[in-house]
């Protein structure tokens, strides 16, 4: 396992987000305050271990970085190989996406009167440091792609549940859906809690 240069960044983010949930669990305020916290985290690209930033040539990877003990939220790294993209899908819980390296394009979809899904607005480009908020109430259906055909991109996602266990859906353009549970690509979590590595005994 690679050395984590600044594990305190993720640890402090997790603590601050948990405090935000305790103090004001309303979605609007949570997305606003949590988005600011995530923006601070992805301003720095020196804390994510290499094991959780590895692409797979077959498909994008979703690595669990932290799951709240009460499953109120989870933090994952999404790793996009060159040119990779998701199907059209939803989340069914609130979400925050922060761009760590590279870039990604997110296209929102809305259901028309005929039940079909139609692109809603232009794709949103996320560059390093940018944060996007998602809500089941407004923009939960989208398709995300690596903005680059020749390099890897990595984004950090925060969801209002243990997202790898949430039953949600992928969609066809006609609006039909197929349920899925994503799971995760990793078998272990980054060890950000071993403070002995940061504060050795004198």
CATH number reported for the structural domain that contains residue 82 in this entry: 2.60.120.10
Inside any domain, residue 2 = no
Q: Which domain holds residue 169?
A: 7-46+53-185
Q: How far is C-alpha 11 from the chain's CA centre?
A: 16
Inside any domain, residue 102 = yes
Rounded alpha-carbon distances, angstroms, from residue 197 to 9, 71, 188, 190:
15, 28, 19, 14
Mean pLDDT of 18-38: 92
Inside any domain, residue 174 = yes
43 vs 200, higher pLDDT: 43
Inside any domain, residue 201 = no
Inside any domain, residue 131 = yes
- Please work out, in degrees rounded to the nearest 5, the angle formed at the alpha carbon of residue 79 by the alpha carbons of 65 and 195: 30
State how far the Cα of 109 lies from the Cα of 122, in Å rounded to an integer.
Answer: 10
Condensed to tens digits (0 to 9), the pLDDT of residues 117-142 reads: 999 999 999 999 999 999 998 889 99
Q: Which token pair is 186?
A: 């990793």
Q: How many domains does the chain contain in total?
A: 1
| 8 Å CB contact between 157 and 126 | no
Inside any domain, residue 194 = no
Characterize 126-154 residue by residue with b for buried, 16 or more Cβ atoms within 10 angstroms of its Cβ, and e for exposed.
Answer: bebebbbbbebeebbbbbbbbbbeeebbb
Residues 6+ apart with CB under 8 A from 86: 60, 143, 144, 145
State how far the Cα of 118 lies from the Cα of 155, in Å rounded to an integer.
Answer: 25
Mean pLDDT of 149-177: 97
With 80 as the cut, is the pLDDT of residue 25 above it?
A: no
| pLDDT > 90 fraction of the chain, expressed in percent and rounded | 87
| 8 Å CB contact between 186 and 64 | yes
Q: Which token pair is 148?
A: 């680059």
Inside any domain, residue 196 = no
Confidence of residue 190 (pLDDT cuts 50, 70, 90): very high
Confidence of residue 1 (pLDDT cuts 50, 70, 90): very low
| 8 Å CB contact between 180 and 169 | yes
Which residue reads 């991109």 in tokens? Answer: 153
């Amino acid at each position: 396992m690679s050395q984590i240069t600044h594990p305190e960044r993720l640890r402090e983010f997790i603590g601050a987000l948990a405090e935000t949930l305790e103090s004001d669990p309303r979605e609007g305020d949570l997305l606003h305050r949590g988005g600011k916290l995530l923006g601070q985290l992805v301003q720095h690209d020196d804390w994510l271990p290499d094991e959780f930033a590895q692409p797979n040539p077959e498909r994008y990877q979703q690595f669990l970085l932290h799951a709240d003990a009460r499953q109120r939220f989870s933090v994952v790294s999404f790793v996009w190989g060159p040119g990779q993209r998701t199907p059209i899908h939803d989340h069914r819980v609130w979400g925050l996406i922060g761009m760590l390296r590279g870039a990604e394009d997110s296209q929102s979809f809305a259901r028309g009167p005929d039940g079909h899904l139609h692109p809603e607005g232009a794709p949103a480009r996320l560059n390093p440091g940018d944060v996007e908020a998602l809500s089941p109430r407004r923009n939960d259906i989208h398709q995300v792609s690596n903005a680059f055909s020749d390099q890897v991109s990595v984004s950090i996602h925060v969801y209002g549940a243990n997202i790898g266990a949430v039953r949600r859906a992928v969609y066809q353009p006609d609006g039909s859906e197929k349920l899925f549970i994503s799971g995760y690509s990793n078998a272990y979590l980054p060890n950000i809690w071993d403070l002995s590595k940061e504060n050795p005994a004198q």
